[in-house]
Amino acid sequence: MVEIAPFAPFFVAAALALLLRGWPRGLLLVLLPLAGLANLWLLGEGSFGTWSVLDFQLLLFRADRLSLLFGYLFHVAALIAIIYSLHVRDTLQQVASLLYAGSALGAVFAGDLLTLFIFWELLALTSVFLVWARRSGRAYMAGLRYFTLHILSGLLLLGGIILHGQAHGSLAFGHMGLEQNGFAGVGSWMIFLAFGIKCAFPFVHNWLTDAYPESTPTGTVFLSAFTTKVAVYALARAYPGTELLVYIGATMACFPIFYAVIENDLRRVLAYSLINQLGFMVVGIGIGTSLAINGAVAHAFNDVIFKGLLFMSMGAVLKMTGRINGSELGGLYKTMPKTTVLCIIGAASISAFPLFSGFVSKSMVMSAAIGNGHDWVWLILLFASAGVFHHAGIKIPYFAFFAHDSGLRAEEPPVNMLLAMSIAAALCLAVGIYPQALYQLLPYETAYTPYDVTHVLTQLQLLFFSALAFVWLNLRRLYPPELPSVNLDVEWLYRRLLPEAARGLVAGVFRLDARLRGAALKGIGYLMETVAGHHKPDGIMARSWLTGSMAAGVVVLLGIYLALGFAA
Domain boundary residue, one of 463, 490, 517: 490
pLDDT tens for 462-478 read 888 888 887 787 777 76
Question: Higher confidence at residue 562 or residue 19?
Answer: 19
How many structural domains is the chain composed of?
3
Rounded CA separation 474/150 (Å): 40
pLDDT interval class at 3 (50, 70, 90): confident
What pLDDT score was predicted for residue 544? Answer: 65
Are 404 and 386 part of one and the same domain?
Answer: yes
Q: Which residues contact 58 (CB under 8 A, 6 or more apart)?
A: 50, 51, 52, 111, 112, 114, 115, 171
In a domain, 382, yes or no: yes
For residue 7, pLDDT over 80 is answered with yes
Do 453 and 538 reside in the same domain of the chain? Answer: no
Cβ neighbors of 530 (< 8 A, separation 6 or more) are none
What does the alpha-carbon distance between residue 172 and residue 258 come to, in Å, rounded to a whole number? 40
Q: Where is average pLDDT lowest: 261-265, 281-285, 318-322?
A: 261-265
Residues 486 and 556 reside in one and the same domain? no
Domain for residue 378, yes or no? yes
Provide, rounded to the nearest whole percent, the portion of the chain with pLDDT above 70. Answer: 95
- Domain region containing 338: 240-490
What's the rounded mean pLDDT across residues 22-34? 94
**pLDDT reported for residue 179:** 86
- Residue 135 within a domain: yes
Same domain (yes/no): 213, 250: no
Residue ranges of alpha helices (H) inside 476-497 are 492
Residue 278 and residue 138 share a domain: no
d(CA 224, CA 429): 20
Examine the domain organization and report whether 455 and 514 are in the same domain: no
Question: In sequence order, which residues have a C-beta less than 8 Å from that of residue 375 and are 6 or more positions away?
Answer: none
| Terminal C-alpha separation, the chain | 86
In a domain? residue 196: no
> Same domain, yes or no, for 285 and 420?
yes
Determine the average pLDDT of the residues in 280-290. 96
**442 and 510, same domain (yes or no):** no
257 and 330 fall within a common domain: yes
Q: Say if 186 falls within a structural domain.
A: no
Percent of the chain with pLDDT over 90: 65
For residue 121, tell me if it sits in a domain: yes
pLDDT value, residue 15: 95
d(CA 509, CA 507): 5
Range from 204-218, 338-352, 381-395, 538-552 carrying the lowest mean pLDDT: 538-552
Distance CA 402, CA 266 (A): 14
Assess whether 223 and 347 both reside in one domain.
no
Residue 496 lies in a domain: no
- Torsion (CA) 196, 198, 199, 201 in degrees, nearest 10: 50
166 in any annotated domain: no
- 232 with 244, same domain? no
- Say whether pLDDT at 443 is over 90: yes
Average pLDDT over residues 127-135: 95
233 and 352 co-located in one domain: no
